[in-house]
Amino acid sequence: MQGWNRFTRMTSAMTVAAVALAAAALWADADPQAAVNAAFAKFKTLNEGKNADYIPALAKVDPNLFGVAVVTVDGKVYTAGDVATEVSIQSISKVFTMAQVIEEQGVESIEKRIGVDATGGRFNSIIAVEAVRTVVGSGAPEMNALVNPGAISATSMVKGASADEVWKRIIGIHDEFAGRPLAVLQDVYKSESDSNERNQAIGALMFAYGYIKTDWRQAVDLYTRQCSIGVNAKDLATMAATLAGMGRNPTTGKQVMDAAKVPPVLAVMATAGLYDDSGKWLYHTGLPAKSGVGGGIIAVSPGKFGIAVVSPPLDAAGNSVRAQKAIADISNALRGNPFAATVDR
């Protein structure tokens, strides 16, 4: 056993060195700033999509806001456009709350209670809840923590004796990934709280079906709050880069999550990060990613970099139009697709 452990330690050290060398070779001839500038210029005038308006505050956000940021795992930052204006993080928060539960309670906690499978439905599908209900209790829930029912359930799983304690942990992990203290955009929180009957219905159903075991009203409220956290494109790219660096924030240098627990988080992002368009996204980019109806998308090239784009107009699936196009172009230019390996022959 001891020999085996030493062997795996040695081989993983060798693998890390080999990966670092390969990444260095790829980066040597890549020009991230040129790629960021080119994507910004190309999509700046693209006027497709529409701001989300089912949350009234989101309809008021400037649709021309456009910020692009790449942060590498060694902390280099490349930006274009407005990377300072904050939007609400919305569904991108689902990644970090899921990460908090995995960090606290292990990789199996999310898999057993919520599941790690695509629903194939929209992000707030109630039909999906009914469909997976048939397998609850079979030990194989076919839901995931990146659509609303699973995300509200994940929020309910975060430990804490009071709502305040749970909230501290939720905002805490967001702060750690971003590398700065973030705050809730109160206008968005109020606007969504006043209009989130559908999420309340989802919370009540998830409680009735045994996914949520604590106060579902509290879970829906904290979920609404986490969706209202204000972030800019640079924050989001730093969060993505922290995932790319296996939990090490490249700006603060802090290991904010156990490195071994990051790959499962990325796997759920790859499976369900862009809702019912996740397969299409993965087909074209190969990148684990997550979108939010505030207009942000983060994408992760493991071991290399994180990209984030903020642009509020969305397509029919609820994903930012410009963000999808800009990220795909940049990743392509930087050879970010993890499936496109370089093979020595």
Name the closest residue to ligand GLN (Cβ). 91
Among 51, 79, 91, 249, contact with ligand GLN (rule: CB under 6 A): 91
Query: Is 340 in contact with 282 (CB distance < 8 Å)?
Result: no
**Residue 191 binds to ligand GLN (criterion: CB under 6 A):** no
Distance between CA atoms of 183 and 228, rounded to whole angstroms?
Answer: 8
Query: Is 233 in contact with 242 (CB distance < 8 Å)?
Result: no
Provide the minimum distance between the beta carbon of 90 and ligand GLN in the complex, in angstroms, as a whole number. Answer: 3
Binding to ligand GLN by CB under 6 A, coded x per residue (else -) over 160-189, reads ------------------------------
Distance of CA 7 to the CA centre of its chain: 34
Among 256, 228, 227, 230, CA closest to 241: 256
Among 293, 299, 310, 330, contact with ligand GLN (rule: CB under 6 A): 293
**Residue 124 binds to ligand GLN (criterion: CB under 6 A):** yes
Provide the minimum distance between the beta carbon of 308 and ligand GLN in the complex, in angstroms, as a whole number. Answer: 14
Nearer to ligand GLN, 79 or 156 (CB): 156
- Site size toward ligand GLN, by CB under 6 A: 11
Among 154, 178, 227, 330, contact with ligand GLN (rule: CB under 6 A): 227
Sign of CA dihedral 270, 90, 146, 241: positive
Sign of CA dihedral 130, 135, 137, 141: negative
Q: How much of the chain is in helix, strand and coil states, percent to nearest 5? A: 50, 10, 35
Among 318, 320, 323, 334, contact with ligand GLN (rule: CB under 6 A): 318
Which residues does residue 306 pair with via DSSP β-bridges, in sequence order?
Answer: 71, 300
Among 292, 302, 306, 312, contact with ligand GLN (rule: CB under 6 A): 292
Binding site residues, ligand GLN, CB under 6 A: 90-91, 123-124, 148, 192, 199, 227, 292-293, 318
